[in-house]
């Protein structure tokens, strides 16, 4: 298999290492030429991904920021052959998929939206690893959800990355769900560590603190782009959270133990239902 990877950060670098591990020929591109050359020096890349080598790729994975992804697709689309499956790896899907589907229809290749559901609080090629996606789910947004042949092709092409299963959805539903399952977690974690007590937590914190604050250590430039791209759904989740927190606050302020106990029980029951699914 010949694979092209555009963007060699944590996600793209891990994909490149996973495919190289499987024996695939990997061509790569990164906006930082030093990173690209370092990946070649390490033996992860067989060469540069450019207008010439992109024509050899059976699979093209684009792991760049949303706006940069759309610019890259527009620039490279005329050079992508009809036999290539193109998939972005952005954390938001609506605008990227709109551009990708339009370009695919115009130039004859196949575009599928994608979102690898794995990562760490660290970023960059230096923190990427070949087993990043082993056992992780992959969300895909195909042009048609009932195209069984395409879904089978996608599954086979993604097998070297190690994903456990594919979740097929629409771009809109993806963004709605990601606002809750990912973006809100980063907002809450990032806001939580702004307490002055955070500087004095050592000796007073355990697993719950570590779980809640892990993703506060984020790439602010990337997450700013993702939040703004998905602000409609993220604002809905923020409003929901603020309303819930206000209920807890009112119960505490009023010294209303019965109400507070009810709120806590409701949350526990919700968690039990989620874990039981």
Sign of CA dihedral 251, 257, 259, 264: positive
Q: How many CA atoms lie within 13 A of 236 on its CB side?
A: 9
CATH of domain 174-276: 1.10.3660.10
What's residue 120's pLDDT? 78
| CATH entry, 2-169, from 3.40.50.720, 3.30.9.10, 3.40.50.2300, 1.25.40.420 | 3.40.50.720
What's residue 173's pLDDT? 97
pTM of the model: 0.90
Residue in 108, 114, 104 with CA at minimum distance from that of residue 141: 114
Q: Where in the chain is the domain with CATH 3.40.50.720?
A: 2-169
CA quadruple 70, 75, 81, 86: dihedral, nearest 10: -20
DSSP single-letter state for residue 61: E
SS3 219: coil
- Confidence label for 277 from pLDDT (cuts 50, 70 and 90): low
Vertex 170 angle, CA 166 and 172, to 5°: 130
Residue in 15, 103, 21, 18 with CA at minimum distance from that of residue 64: 15
What's residue 190's pLDDT? 96
DSSP-assigned states of every residue in 96-146: HHHHHHHHHHHHS-EEEEEEE----S--SGGG--TTTTTT-EEEEE-SSTT
Residue in 260, 233, 231 with CA at minimum distance from that of residue 244: 260
> pLDDT tens, 24-65?
999 999 999 999 999 999 999 999 999 999 999 999 999 999
> pLDDT tens, 163-213?
999 999 999 999 999 999 999 999 999 999 999 998 889 888 899 999 999
Q: How many angstroms separate the most distant Cα atoms in the chain? A: 70
What are the strands of the beta sheet with 137-141, ordered from one edge?
A: 47-48, 25-29, 2-6, 59-62, 85-88, 110-116, 137-141, 165-168
Q: Where in the chain is the domain with CATH 1.10.3660.10?
A: 174-276
């Amino acid at each position: 298999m010949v694979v092209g990877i555009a963007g060699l950060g944590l996600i793209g670098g891990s994909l490149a290492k996973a495919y190289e591990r499987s024996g695939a020929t990997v061509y790569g591109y990164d906006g930082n030429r030093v990173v690209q050359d370092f990946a070649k020096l390490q033996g992860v890349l067989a060469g540069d991904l450019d207008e010439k080598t992109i024509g050899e790729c059976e699979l093209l994975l684009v792991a760049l920021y949303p706006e940069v992804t759309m610019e890259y697709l527009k620039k490279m689309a005329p050079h992508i052959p009809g036999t290539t499956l193109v998939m972005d790896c952005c954390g938001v899907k609506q605008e990227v998929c709109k551009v990708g589907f339009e370009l695919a229809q115009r130039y004859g290749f196949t575009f599928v939206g994608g979102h690898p559901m794995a990562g760490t609080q660290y970023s960059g090629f230096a923190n990427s690893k070949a087993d990043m996606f082993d056992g992780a789910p992959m969300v895909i947004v195909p042009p048609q959800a009932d195209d069984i042949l395409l879904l089978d092709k996608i599954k086979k092409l993604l097998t070297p990355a190690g994903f456990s299963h594919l979740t097929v959805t629409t771009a809109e539903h993806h963004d709605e769900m990601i606002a809750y399952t990912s973006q809100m977690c980063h907002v809450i974690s990032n806001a939580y560590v702004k307490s002055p007590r955070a500087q004095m937590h050592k000796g007073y914190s355990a697993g719950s603190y570590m779980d809640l604050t892990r993703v506060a250590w984020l790439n602010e430039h990337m997450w700013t782009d993702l939040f703004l791209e998905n602000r409609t759904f993220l604002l809905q989740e923020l409003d929901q959270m603020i309303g819930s927190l206000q209920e807890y606050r009112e119960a505490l302020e009023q010294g209303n133990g019965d109400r507070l106990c009810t709120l806590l029980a409701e949350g526990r029951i919700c968690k039990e239902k989620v874990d039981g699914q």
